[in-house]
Amino acid sequence: MNKDTTRLLQQLRGEINALRERIATLETGLDELQSHLETEASAPEAAEAEAVDLSAVSLGPIEPEPAPAPEPVVEPEPVAEPEPEDFPFPEPTPIAEPETAPKPSVMESTDRYAWRKDMPGLAVRDIRSAIALNDRVLFINLLFQQDAVRFQNALNDLNAFETFPQAEDYLRTNYPQWNYDSEVVYRFMMAVRRKLR
Closest CA to 180 of 193, 194, 168, 167: 168
| Per-position DSSP letters for 87-109, written without gaps between them | --SPPPPPPPPPPPPPPPPTTS-
Tell me what percent of the residues of the chain surpass a pLDDT of 90: 22
The contacts of residue 59 (CB under 8 Å, 6+ apart) are 26, 29
Q: Examine the pLDDT at 174 and tell me if it is beyond 90.
A: yes
Q: Tell me if 120 sits within 8 A of 193, measured CB to CB.
A: yes
- Reported confidence tier of residue 122, pLDDT bands at 50, 70, 90: confident
Q: Examine the pLDDT at 132 and tell me if it is beyond 80.
A: yes
Q: Examine the pLDDT at 130 and tell me if it is beyond 50.
A: yes
In this structure, how many other beta carbons lie within 10 angstroms of the beta carbon of residue 101?
A: 15
Task: Answer yes or no: pTM beyond 0.85.
Answer: no
Euclidean distance between CA atoms 35 and 26, whole angstroms: 14
Instruction: Parse the chain into domains and list their residue ranges.
Output: 3-72, 110-195
pLDDT in tens, 135-169: 999 999 999 999 999 999 999 999 999 998 999 89
pLDDT in tens, 25-41: 778 877 777 777 777 66
